[in-house]
């Protein structure tokens, strides 16, 4: 689609390791079943970027590239996983309620995300770690309903057209993280990129009452496949300053298309390739007095280089993200006498990879969060709360406001190969 169509608001809104592992996987499965509609901004191109950082990252504004946490290392920079001493399972998820307004109308939608599950297995404690998992990168899901009003052989024909889009683009990373020196950790991963985009258009006629105009259904599905590499580093050799960076290479995203029409047995297939751009990420962390820390991250994907989909290319723009915030981290007191509760807050701004109404789409978020350690320091449970606003009625035709609750469970087990 070259833009958001139609009357978006016209229709209805559519302690033992085995026990611990099973429990975490059940929580993950429940979180994955709550998907519903997003915002109309996700109707175009590859939809919206899904932030795969955990609730700890989200609560402080979305940064974490330069963070080294020896209790439960974050996964935003996979080089940090080199410090794992125990086997770790990392689960990140969040849910949000979104109100979208435009043209004097308003619609509320709800959705749950499971952006990332990752497993880290130390091959050599705090030096070499094998890691893999599943990471959601982009998502698109929304439904519009438009009225049909036309004349056929002098006879008025009325009905409605339902357009539904659903899809995800995700990666399955498999890599190694290595603590090269006391101040430098490195990581390399091979990423299997997979996904689908499904567009379904249904036309239903209600007038004339004779009902001899049959419903039309057109279903188009693009199955996407590709592969790329991610290289990352973490420099934490200085007391006051830590630095992190990562690059994911560009790659060819092959799209196998199948088109089916209702009432027609034959299916049409097609195949084309889109040249996906690389992704660059960098961050810093400053250790401040009284155990506070300041962090900031930058992310860039130059989508203006994308080729292979002429219907998308005129609307694509370079995607970038800036995130910054403060954190008082979790600190255990001496002699096992409790801990200092973490507090986090921050701000993030992102430009989406495509325009709506000819204007760039900007996303802003302000966040806060906290967390709690597990017994014997074997992981953490973190929470975040964010207020997010996307777009502008004046520039894009719509504005979406979201309240987002994030949850991450990072569990460790004393099992070392």
Question: So what's the pLDDT on residue 193?
Answer: 96
Question: So what's the pLDDT on residue 406?
Answer: 95
List the chain domain ranges: 17-413
Question: So what's the pLDDT on residue 17?
Answer: 37
Question: So what's the pLDDT on residue 211?
Answer: 59
Question: So what's the pLDDT on residue 251?
Answer: 96
Q: What is the CATH number of domain 17-413?
A: 2.40.160.60
Q: Which of 143, 119, 233 is nearest to 180 (CA)?
A: 233
* CA pair distance 167, 312, nearest whole angstrom: 16
Question: So what's the pLDDT on residue 187?
Answer: 97
Task: HSE, CB side, 13 Å, CA atoms: give it for residue 29.
Answer: 6
HEC profile of the chain: CCCCCCCCCCCCCCCCHHHHHHHHHHHHHHHHCCCCCCCHHHHCCCCEECCCCCHHHHHCCCCCCCCCCCCCCCCCCHHHHHHCCCEEEEEEEEEEEEEEEECCEEEEEEEEEEEEEEEEEEEECCCEEEEEEEEEEEEEEEEEEEEEEEEECCEEEEEEEEEEEEEEEEEEEEEEEEEEECCEEEEEEEEEEEEEEEEEEEEEEEECCCCCCCCEEEEEEEEEEEEEEEEEEEECCCCCEEEEEEEECCEEEEEEEEEEECCCCCEEEEEEEEEECCEEEEEEEEECHHHCEEEEEEEEECHHHCECCCCCHHHECCEEEEEEEEEECCEECHHHCCEECCEEEEEEEEEEEEEECCEEEEEEEEEEEEEEECHHHCEEEEEEEEEEEECCHHHHCCEEEEEEEEEEEEEEECCCC
Beta bridge partners of 235: 184, 243
Task: From first to last of the 417 residues of the chain, give the pLDDT tens digit.
Answer: 434 333 333 332 323 333 443 343 333 333 343 345 678 888 888 899 988 789 999 999 999 999 987 677 888 999 999 999 899 999 999 999 999 998 888 888 888 888 999 999 999 988 999 999 999 999 988 888 888 888 877 778 888 888 899 999 999 999 999 999 999 999 999 999 999 999 999 888 887 766 567 778 889 999 999 999 999 999 998 989 999 999 999 999 999 999 988 766 567 788 989 999 999 999 999 999 888 999 999 999 999 999 998 989 999 999 999 999 999 998 887 766 788 899 999 999 999 999 998 999 999 999 999 999 988 888 899 999 999 999 999 999 999 999 999 999 998 887 644
Question: So what's the pLDDT on residue 15?
Answer: 36
378-381 long-range CB contacts below 8 Å, 24 or more apart?
378/86, 378/411, 378/412, 378/413, 378/414, 379/71, 379/72, 379/88, 379/409, 379/410, 379/411, 379/412, 380/56, 380/71, 380/72, 380/330, 380/408, 380/409, 380/410, 381/407, 381/408, 381/409, 381/410
Q: What is the pTM of this model?
A: 0.86
């Amino acid at each position: 689609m070259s833009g958001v169509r139609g009357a978006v608001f016209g229709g209805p809104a559519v302690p033992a390791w085995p026990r611990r592992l099973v429990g975490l996987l059940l929580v993950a499965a429940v979180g994955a079943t709550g998907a519903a509609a997003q915002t109309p901004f996700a109707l175009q191109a590859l939809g919206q970027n899904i932030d795969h950082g955990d609730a700890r990252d989200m609560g402080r504004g979305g940064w974490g590239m330069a963070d080294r946490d020896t209790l439960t290392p974050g996964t935003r920079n996979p080089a940090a996983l080199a410090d794992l001493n125990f086997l770790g399972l990392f689960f990140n998820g969040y849910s949000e309620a979104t109100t979208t307004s435009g043209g004097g109308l308003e619609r509320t939608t709800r959705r749950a995300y499971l952006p990332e599950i990752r497993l880290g297995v130390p091959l050599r404690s705090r030096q070499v770690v094998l890691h893999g998992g599943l990471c959601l990168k982009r998502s698109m899901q929304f439904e519009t309903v438009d009225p049909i009003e036309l004349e056929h052989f002098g006879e008025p024909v009325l009905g409605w057209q339902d357009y539904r889009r659903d899809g995800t683009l995700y990666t399955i990373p498999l890599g190694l993280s290595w603590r090269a020196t006391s101040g430098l950790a490195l990581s390399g991963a091979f990423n299997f990129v997979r996904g689908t985009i499904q567009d379904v258009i249904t036309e239903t006629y209600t007038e004339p009452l004779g009902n001899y105009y049959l419903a039309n259904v057109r279903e188009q599905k693009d199955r996407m496949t590709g592969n790329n590499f991610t290289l990352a580093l973490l420099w934490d050799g200085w007391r006051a300053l830590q630095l992190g960076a990562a690059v994911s290479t560009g790659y060819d995203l092959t799209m196998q298309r199948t088109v089916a029409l209702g009432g027609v047995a034959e299916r049409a297939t097609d195949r084309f390739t889109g040249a996906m751009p690389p992704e660059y990420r960098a961050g810093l962390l400053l250790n401040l007095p009284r155990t506070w820390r300041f962090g900031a991250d930058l992310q860039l994907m130059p989508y203006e280089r994308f080729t292979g989909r002429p219907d998308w290319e005129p609307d694509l723009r370079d995607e970038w993200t800036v995130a910054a915030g403060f954190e008082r981290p979790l600190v255990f007191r001496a002699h096992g006498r409790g801990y200092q509760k973490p507090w986090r807050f921050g701000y993030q701004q992102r430009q989406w990879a495509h325009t709506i109404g000819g204007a760039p789409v900007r996303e802003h978020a302000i966040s806060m969060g906290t967390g709690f350690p597990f017994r014997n320091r074997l992981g953490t449970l973190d929470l975040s709360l964010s207020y997010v606003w996307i777009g502008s009625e004046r520039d894009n035709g719509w504005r979406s406001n979201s309240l987002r609750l994030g949850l991450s469970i990072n569990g460790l087990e004393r099992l070392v190969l």
